[in-house]
Chain A
Amino acid sequence: MAKLVILGAGIAGHTAALHAHRKLRGRHELVVVTPNRKWNWIPSNIWVGVGFMGVDDVTFDLAPVYRKLGIPLYQARATTLYPEGSDDQPLPHVEISYTDPERAGQTEKLTYDYLINATGPKLNFAATPGLGPAGHSHSVCTFDHAAETFSRLEACIQRMERGERQTLVVGTGHGTCTCQGAAFEYLFNVEYLLQRRGVRDRADLVWISNEMELGDFGMGGMHIKRGGYITHSRIFAESLYTERGVRWITKAGVKEVQDGHFHYETLDGQSHEQAFDFAMLLPPFSGTGLSAINRRGENITATVFAPNGFMKVDADYSGKPYEQWDPGDWPETYQNPDYPNLFAVGIAFAPPHAISKPAQSAKGTPIFPTPPRTGMPSGVMARQVALNIADLMTGKAEQPTRKSSMARMGAACIASAGAGMLRGSAVSMTVYPIIPDFKTYPDTGRSLRYTSGEIGLAGHWIKYLLHFGFLYKAKANPLWQVIPE
């Protein structure tokens, strides 16, 4: 009986666990390690941040689901990988440190035959002094951050109701952030809430981002056919920001957040200051800090992981310049090149490079989005990796056979622009492929047939239905597998 250990039970890790369980049930051992007690449907955190939903609406306890499935669940944080084993344990293993209150701080070594790293990101607030809930800005990256952010927003709205004018800033809190889409959603949900509360005219809304232009979303934006033209998403984004009265600052990297104002640098090397009464600024991501040790006790973290802490997989990490980027640079099987029984999915795998063209300020500060790899792509690659490993464990294959490169994968994304069943809206986008392929699509890098975007109430209905659909699936309720990733 072989053993698969999955590190992380977020969207990628939990999806991998469900599919691996479906394939391996009873025949091989499956173990899941996660530092969190709850599963969180992260795309709905923006609705917690505006009070449309509560924390209980976007989370559930993992333990009962794993009990139902019969999968051992360790509430612990993985700290060190021993892919070659160690003197006291010759089998490959991972050291974990319990976060379960009953065993907090205790450590244990878990052996494995195969391991999926789906640990997600570390929210690297420390990259920008003063950034984050422990500093002077807010976040919607976790459900508790989002709940706290809503309480601060509510206080801000109450000041506006008393007649005060407020400046609200939403965006990215560092020059190399990703997930601009989440900040975009939060911005327009705040704007919608202010309208509903009748205080919109007392708010100055400001967007700040490390994108070159609006509508980039960390993937160079996208071109779609509309009204007889092939038009870039920048035009549609600028239209929406203008319609909703939001001022925007792009090409900006926040350098330091202080009480009531922050400093930022723009690509031209100029330094600026922006005052705020409320700021929701996303942090950059890094790996969770897993280290790796070989059989001789040597630290091989730099071999297994990229400098940003994400795990190396079957991608091209040669650091080639933008002009030489190729869709083939992106991983297909998410298998570590040095240790074939190690895999990384979701945010935990190290992308070979950005998707948006990199840029540095005149002072040398990198100011460009790092590539998004959350949501639908994250779930799809987790499923494919889990099925590949199941085939390896059951002897159906000797190598991973399913490939799920983001260069041959599409994504459907619903970006909420106001949470209301009758008056709300969302931007509905489909993109194919996620990584531009200028060999196949020489003009825009993507298929104009499969790449689309529009805004309307229907998008909100879909996002709302997806919320319940994915929670149903994550709870492993009957027929969960018919709901796609």
Chain B
Amino acid sequence: MSTRDPYEQSYYPPVPTRLVRWMRTNWLWQFVRFLILNAKMLRMVRKH
């Protein structure tokens, strides 16, 4: 991300910190998310 170009598209959106990006590919944390996401999707399936 660069803010050298103020008022351009990329100037405004929130961007993830290094910690957030690391968590997105951290296997242990992602395994926990994997279980939670599956539970969320199964909950959605049960609503049909």
Q: Which residues of A contact B (CB under 8 A)?
A: 235, 238-239, 241-243, 245, 247-248, 380, 404, 409-412, 422-423, 425, 428, 430, 432, 450, 452, 454-459, 461-462, 484-485
Contact = CB atoms under 8 A, between A and B. Distances in A.
Given A432-B44, A432-B47, A456 B13 contact: no
Contacts of A409: 47-48
A243 B9 contact: no
B24 A425 contact: yes
Top 3 A-B pairs ranked by shortest CB distance?
A238-B13, A458-B34, A412-B41
Given A241-B13, A245-B10, A430-B40, 8 more contacts: A239-B15, A243-B16, A247-B9, A432-B47, A454-B33, A457-B26, A461-B34, A484-B45
Contacts of A455: 24
Interface of B: 1, 9-10, 12-16, 21, 23-27, 30-31, 33-34, 37-38, 40-45, 47-48
Contacts of B37: 428, 454, 458-459, 462
A483 to B, nearest CB: 10
A462 B48 contact: no
Contacts of B30: 456-458, 461
Given A248-B9, A456-B30, A462-B38, A235 B45 contact: no
Contacts of B27: 422, 457
A256 B37 CA distance: 41
A422 B27 CA distance: 8
Contacts of B48: 380, 404, 409-410, 484-485
Contacts of A422: 25, 27
B27 to A, nearest CB: 7
Contacts of A459: 37
A311 to B, nearest CB: 22
A409 B27 CA distance: 32
A456 B16 CA distance: 12
Contacts of B34: 458, 461-462
Contacts of B23: 456
A458 B33 contact: yes
Contact of B41 (A235, A238, A430): A430
A422 B26 CA distance: 9
B7 to A, nearest CB: 14
B14 A456 contact: no
Contact of A410 (B16, B38, B47): B47
A260 B4 CA distance: 30
Contacts of B25: 422-423, 425, 456-457
Given A456-B24, A456-B25, A457-B30, A412 B44 contact: yes
Nearest to B32: A458
26 contacts: A235-B13, A242-B9, A242-B10, A243-B21, A247-B9, A404-B48, A412-B45, A422-B27, A423-B25, A428-B41, A430-B41, A430-B44, A432-B47, A450-B43, A450-B44, A450-B47, A456-B24, A456-B30, A456-B33, A458-B30, A458-B31, A458-B34, A462-B34, A462-B37, A484-B48, A485-B45
